[in-house]
Amino acid sequence: MKWLDRTHGTQFELARHFFTSVFENELFSREQGRRLAASAAGLTIPAGILLMDPRIVDAPSAKLRLISALDELALLTFLFAVAGILAVLAWNSLFPNRDDYLALASLPIRPRQIVGARFLSVALMAILIALALALWPSAISPHNYGLQQSFSVMVVDIFARVLATSFGCVFVFFAVVSIHGLIVNLAPGRWGVLVTPYVQGSLLIIFMAAGLYSFVIQDWRLDVLKQVVDQGRWAPPVWFSCLHNVIIGHREPAVIHLAVRGLKALGLALFLSAATYLLALLRYQRLLLENRDVIVRIRSWRWNPIDLIIRNPQQRAIMEFLWKVFGRSRIHRLVLLAYFAAGAGVMASIMLVAFATKTWPGWGHMLPIAVSTVPLAISFVMLTGVRYAFLLPIQLKANWVFQLTESQGRQQWLSALEHFITLFVILPLHLLSLLVAVSALGWRVGACIVISQVLISYCFFELLFNGWRQLPFACSYVPAKSQLATVIARWVCALGFLAPMLGKVILATSQMTLGYILSLAILLPLWRWLHSLRQEGWSDTDLIYEDNDDVVPNLGISEASYGMTRYRESDLSQRPKPGQTADVQSALPSNRSDSTIGTKLGPNPF
C-alpha cells in the first residue's frame, strides 16, 4: 500500500482533506476545476510568447539588461495578478467556516486542529501556486541565456528569480488571506456576508487590471526604468524585482531598501494571516456557531417604485424574487461583481494602455472615446453577467414551485426578466453614462451617444437572450462547458474590437446630423427585428429545468411531472401493435427534451 493511501494522524488527514478541496465551491466540481486548470495551463504558453520581447534580438548587453529588467517587472506583475486571482477564487476555503465545524461535529477533532489544518492547507497551496508560477518562467527566461553569463552565474540568477517571484506570489496570496481574516473577525455575521462580495469584486478588478497592464510594461521606454525605484516604491513587483537584484549581488542602497520592504511586506502578510486565524480560533464559537444575526432587514414602508411601473401582480412578485436573489444570494452577487470587475478591469487597462503608449493624445482626446466606448463595453459585460447569474440555480429543490406555477404565468416570468434587465442594468448604466457624456460633450452629442448606446445594448440583450429556454435561477447548471480559450477569445473580440469600433462609430455619427439619422435608421429596425425574433423564440420553445442529464444527476422531477405524463401517454398511444416492429428509443424524446417540461399544456390540472 502506498504511503499516501495509509491512514495517518488526525491533523494530517484533516489537512489532506482541506488541501484537496481548496478550490471546491458552488460553481466548480473537482473534475470541472481540473478541466479549467488544464485550459489555463494550456494558455500560459501563448501568454508567455506575448510576454517575450522582440527587442532582445541583437541588442547590446547593457541595453539587454534594461530590457530584461522591464520584462521581469512585467512578468512579476502578471504572476502576482494570477496568484491574487487564484487566492480570490479559493476565498471560501481560506478560513474554517460554519460548515466545517458542523460537518466535523462529534469527531475527535479539536477546533484548533481544524484551524491549524486550514492554515496548513492554505499555506501549502500558496507555496505550491507560487512555485508553479515562478519555476517555469524563471527557468526559461531568455535573458538568462542572452546575457552571456557563466553557467554558475546563470544558476544563481535562476535561483534568485525563483525565490523572489515565489516570495512575491506568497505575499499576494497571504495579503488576500489577511483581508479575508480581517473581514471574518471585524465584520462577522450579516455584515461579513454583505461586505465580502464587494471586497472580492474589488480585488478581482485590481488583479485583472494589473494582469492586463503587465503586457504594457515591456513597452515602457527604457529610460522610464531609471525612475522605477523612485516612482514605483509602492508597487510589490518593484520590491520583489529589487529582491532578485539584491540576491544576485546588487548593493545600491535604494534597491536594498526596496528589497527589505518586500520582505517586510511578506512578513506582515504572514503575521496578519496567522493572527486572524488565531483570533478566529479564539472566537469561533461566537463567530460561527452562536451567531444568529441572519435576520433580513424588513422595510418599514410598503411603497415600492417598481409597483408604479409594473402593474401586473405576478410580474411584481417575480421582479421582487429576482431582486431578492441578487440581494441575498452571496454566489449570485459575487458572479455579478466578478463580471463587473472583469469589465471595469479591462476598460481600466485599455485606458492605462492608452496612457502608457508613446502616442498618448491627452485626456481631451481620450474622453470622447472613453464616453462612447466604456459604457457600451460594461453593458456587454453586465448583460452577459446577469445572464450567467440567471443560469445558476438558487435552490434546485425549490423548483417544484416554478414548475407548478409556470404554466399560469410563463409570459409574466419572461416579461419580468425583460423589465428587470431594463430597470436594473440598461437604465442605471446609461443614465450614469448620460450624466458623464452630457457634462463632457454637451447636451446634443451626449444625448445622441447615449441613445445609440441604449439601442446597441438592447440589440445585444436580444441576441444574448434569443435562445433563452429557462426561468431565472430555476434550472440545474453544468459549469465549464465552454473551453477557456474560446471564452477569452470571445471577450477579446467583444471588448478589444467590437466595443471600441462601435464606440468610434457612435462618436463619429453623433457629431453629424445626417450620419446620426442614418445610424438610427439602421439600429432601430435592427433592434425591432431582433426583438421579434426573441419574442417568437420565447413563445415557441419548451422551458428546461435540467441542463444536461448526463452530467447533472436527475432529480426525478421531470419524470413525475405532468409534462412527462403527457409524453408517456402519447407514447402509449403510439405503441406498435403486436407483430409490428418499431424502434422504441426513437419514439422517446431526445436527451434534452427528456428533461424538459412541456410549456404549451395549458393550466396545470393539479
Partner 1 sequence: MSVLEVHHLTKRFNGIPVVSDVSFAMDKGEILGYIGTNGAGKSTTVKMMIGLLQPSYGQIKWHGRSIADNLTSFQERLGYIPEESHMYSFLSGSEYLRLLGRLRGMKRPVLEFKIERFLKLFGLWDDRECQLSSYSKGMRQKILISGALMHDPEVLIFDEPLGGLDVNMVLGLRQIVQGLSQRGKTIFYCSHVLDDMEKLCSRVLILQKGRLLVDDSIAHLREIREQSSLEGVFASLTKNDDDEQTLARGILEAMQS
Of 8-16, 229-237, 493-501, 559-567, the window that binds partner 1 (rule: CB under 8 A) is 8-16
With b meaning 16 or more CB within 10 Å and e meaning fewer, what string describes 425-449?
bbeebbeebbebbbeebeeebbebb
Cell 435592427: give the residue.
526
Least distance between partner 1 and beta carbon 69 (Å) = 44
Q: Does 4 bind partner 1 (CB under 8 A)?
A: no
How many residues of this chain interact with partner 1, rule: CB under 8 A? 30
Of 16-24, 321-329, 437-445, 489-497, the window that binds partner 1 (rule: CB under 8 A) is 16-24
Least distance between partner 1 and beta carbon 6 (Å) = 6
Q: Could you tell me which of 358, 375, 384, 361 has the C-alpha nearest to residue 500?
A: 375
How many of the other CB atoms lie within 10 Å of CB of 563?
A: 22
Of 94-102, 230-238, 310-318, 502-510, the window that binds partner 1 (rule: CB under 8 A) is 94-102
**Residues ≥6 apart with Cβ < 8 Å to 377:** 343, 346, 347, 494, 495, 499, 503
The site string for partner 1 over 531-570 (x = CB under 8 A, - otherwise) reads ----------------------x-----------------
Q: What span, in angstroms and rounded, lies between the C-alpha atoms of 195 and 183?
A: 8
Least distance between partner 1 and beta carbon 286 (Å) = 10
Nearer to partner 1, 22 or 210 (CB): 22
Least distance between partner 1 and beta carbon 557 (Å) = 12
**Residues ≥6 apart with Cβ < 8 Å to 388:** 335, 339
C-alpha cell at 54: 522582440
Q: Does 1 bind partner 1 (CB under 8 A)?
A: yes
Q: What span, in angstroms and rounded, lies between the C-alpha atoms of 111 and 278?
A: 11
Of 10-18, 330-338, 383-391, 449-457, the window that binds partner 1 (rule: CB under 8 A) is 10-18
Backbone φ, ψ for residue 596 (5° rounding): -105, 160
Q: Could you tell me which of 177, 349, 346, 373 has the C-alpha nearest to residue 275?
A: 177
Within residues 287-346, the interface with partner 1 by CB under 8 A covers: 289-290, 292
Amino acid at position 485, single letter: A
Q: Does 285 bind partner 1 (CB under 8 A)?
A: yes
Contact 372, 449 (CB under 8 A): yes
Nearer to partner 1, 114 or 456 (CB): 114
Beta partners for residue 544, in sequence order: 596
Q: Does 32 bind partner 1 (CB under 8 A)?
A: no
Q: Does 58 bind partner 1 (CB under 8 A)?
A: no
Of 17-25, 321-329, 349-357, 541-549, the window that binds partner 1 (rule: CB under 8 A) is 17-25
Q: What span, in angstroms and rounded, lies between the C-alpha atoms of 77 and 240?
A: 10
Q: Does 104 bind partner 1 (CB under 8 A)?
A: yes
Least distance between partner 1 and beta carbon 280 (Å) = 16
Q: Does 5 bind partner 1 (CB under 8 A)?
A: yes
CA 445 to chain centre: 34
Measure Cα distances from 244 to 138, 255, 413 in Å: 11, 10, 59
Nearer to partner 1, 13 or 542 (CB): 13
Least distance between partner 1 and beta carbon 175 (Å) = 27
Q: Could you tell me which of 344, 91, 333 has the C-alpha nearest to residue 205?
A: 344
Least distance between partner 1 and beta carbon 14 (Å) = 6
Name the site residues for partner 1 (rule: CB under 8 A). 1, 5-10, 13-14, 17, 21, 24, 29-30, 99, 101-110, 285, 289-290, 292, 553
